[in-house]
Structure 1
């Protein structure tokens, strides 16, 4: 581990807004605030919103600033990125934001049934070859049901045509109530509100290159039997920053806009 990462991990260990629980300890003793996040951490009874795969925490911090009457928790396994958002929360003295370092599959270890009101999924890996790893797939929807209130909102924001198409088909097949659906968020006059003012670093990179951002939000009920779409979906013609070439072929030959290194989409 590099010295910079180690420094960040040591720093986060001192932050009251960051929770890190190794699975072995979690499995043995459990998470002490499961079912009591509002009472024991936030000290209020406002709704709880999760950002899954939060990266640097731009949405966790941005939403918490815009909606002081809601509580926000950013979740990611990569703590070196999370450190950025956690520092902002600490420095700004924010009381309605926190970060949890864990795998998304472990949500039921940290949250009780009905404890979560809403989920944001911002620019995840589309997992075009592995349906069980897609954060909007039925495997994960079943997981979210274990911790969310009935009818809670799921929000997906993505640059991936594949994941957006898959998610639309999934909501249609399962009959979920879709609240917002657009394949070009920043040029759709019907979509407004404060979410338009929050952009991750890599989201802005895509926008600067003329690519479109997709957004779909739906209500997840608890009773509908979950079904996977059995449809062939065209794969993306690009892979995001850590995953290869750009979407637009005309951009791929321009060295100034090629992604560099092994950074993730966040």
Structure 2
């Protein structure tokens, strides 16, 4: 997305960027956008937006989307702390967080992407009943995240500590980021959870 749209895109992704009324899915800290691209190929009637602070990373994702002719993909360069500047409340249908930095030290807790301050933001952005997904190779982050999504009153929680042997495996469609493939090849198990925002 070009910078001229920065101040006008909030609440207008469907009309001004995608020019359709399809659901919107975010991948936060998307890196090179491998997951965003994979999902967009699988679901052409859904709009996917990869968000990352590193411009060189999302430039590669943008180029891949262009090469593949995907019109249902966008990339946004911003710090996730400022995500509410670009999306209005209940504008998003799903959020994926795939292999975020686990921020393992106690003093880093507030930077974890499943810290309550982030989860509160996700609940604001998601539609009622909207889905939040997390994939991580970090058992410590996963345990922390399981606790926090329940404290924050997310509902319909499903999870596994070994995605590839779980009945939940089909949800991620076999899409692997570069780092996920490295973890998998080394024999690490992949932790996954999904949950929903409350329907009031």
Q: Scaled by the length of structure 1, what TM-score is found?
A: 0.70
* Greater relative CO (CA pairs within 8 A, separation 6+): 2
Q: Scaled by the length of structure 2, what TM-score is found?
A: 0.92
In 2, distance between residues paired with 1:194 and 1:216? 11
Q: Secondary structure at the match of 1:197?
A: coil
Aligned to 2:180: 203
Aligned to 1:110: 86
| Alignment gaps of 5+ in structure 1 | 1-17, 224-266
| Alignment gaps of 5+ in structure 2 | none
Aligned to 2:126: 148
Q: From the CA coordinates, give the structure whose radius of gyration is larger.
A: 1
| 8 Å contact kept, 1:75–1:102 | yes
Moved more, 160-169 or 123-132: 123-132
| 8 Å contact kept, 1:171–1:178 | no
Aligned to 2:148: 170
Over aligned residues, Cα RMSD in angstroms? 1.8
Of residues 98, 106, 125, the one that matches 2:101 is 125
Deviations 1:24-53 (A, max 9, x none): xx9xxx621211110111111011000000
Q: Secondary structure at the match of 1:172?
A: helix
Moved more, 178-187 or 47-56: 178-187
Deviations 1:123-179 (A, max 9, x none): 001112222111111110122233221221110000000111011112333442234
| 8 Å contact kept, 1:186–1:196 | no
Distance apart, 1:85 and its partner CA: 1.0
Distance apart, 1:193 and its partner CA: 2.4
More strand by share: 2
More helix by share: 2
